[in-house]
Amino acid sequence: MVASRFPLVPVLALAAIVLMTACRTIPPPAPHNPPAPPPPLPQAPLPPSATMTLRDYLKQQLGPGFHVRAEWAGTDPAYRPQPYRYRVWAPIGVVRVVTIHHAEMHVWTDTAAMIRAIFRDHTREDGRLDAADVGYHFLVDEAGQVWEGRDAGRVGTHVGSHPPGQNNPGNLGICGLGSFLWEEPPRVMVERIVTLTALIARYYGRPLIVRGHRDWGGIHGAPIGGTSCPGKLERAVVLAEEKMRETYPPGGVAAGGIATSGASVGGAAGVGPARVSTTPASIWD
């Protein structure tokens, strides 16, 4: 066996020194820091409908100017909803329309008694409606007080159609208490109906279509204009439409990030054509 020309131990020591030097000169890998996520996009505020009922919202906004159902119906079971037999008591669905009516009866001094009379007329088994409840969701008296009618979550029976049942889904009914075929409605009533319509739209966080009763097709079999209702209370329809356009201009964004457009306010498929009336918007001149 031939001996190595170089001692083994010094060679190993030299190799160790070289390796240690190399380790000291190679920097450790940098820690992995992922990029920070982008900031969240601003969210449009949720509408009040996400957290409360329409009744509670109107009580909050109108205070003593809003009267709950119990203030006219009391505890008498005769004035509770009566959804038996084939009477309509389905959910209203997505609210897209507000329809304005007048009661076509003289004003009573006792508003609660007047609403009870309307309830009895609407729920009579041999009556024209044979309905489960008063047909309107809200009623407004000549002093501008708002009264709760049918549950706003239930489809109403305030706009007829042939075949029946086509015009009320997604349609809230507001009735002015009085007869306005020939008489002018009180200014305070008109203004409160306009305010109520705007509050309902704000509650849902989107523009709503506003119509008078006679703007609907299918009433008494007529293609449109099958009734004279709401008479001169049509002025409230004109002003409510105007306010809706001011609040939700085309190209804007409603609560919840919903885009608005002129079509959303002015008309929709299945809602019927443009209003019959051409009442000017300036109604107090």
Model confidence at 163, in pLDDT bands (50, 70, 90)?
low
Mean pLDDT value of segment 105-124: 95
Instruction: Specify burial of residue 142 (Cβ count, 10 A radius: 0-12, 13-18, 19+).
Output: middle
pLDDT surpasses 60 at 5? no
pLDDT number for residue 13: 64
The pLDDT-based confidence of 70 (bands split at 50, 70, 90) is very high
- Return the higher-pLDDT residue of 30 and 96: 96
Q: Is the pLDDT of residue 52 over 80?
A: yes
Pick 181 or 9 by higher pLDDT: 181
pTM of the model: 0.77
User: Mean pLDDT score of the chain, rounded to an integer?
Assistant: 83
Name the more confident of 128 and 31.
Answer: 128
Q: What tens digit of pLDDT does each residue of 144-154 get?
A: 999 999 999 99
- Pull the structure tokens for residue 152: 């706003």
Mean pLDDT of 153-164: 82
- Report the pLDDT value the prediction gives residue 242, as an integer from 0 to 100: 96
Work out the average pLDDT over 213-231: 74
Tokens of 129: 């409606």
Indicate if the pLDDT at residue 133 is higher than 60. yes
- Determine what percent of the chain is predicted with pLDDT higher than 90: 58
Residues 142 and 164 sit within 8 Å (Cβ to Cβ): no
pLDDT-derived band at 128 (thresholds 50, 70, 90) equals confident
pLDDT of residue 162: 59
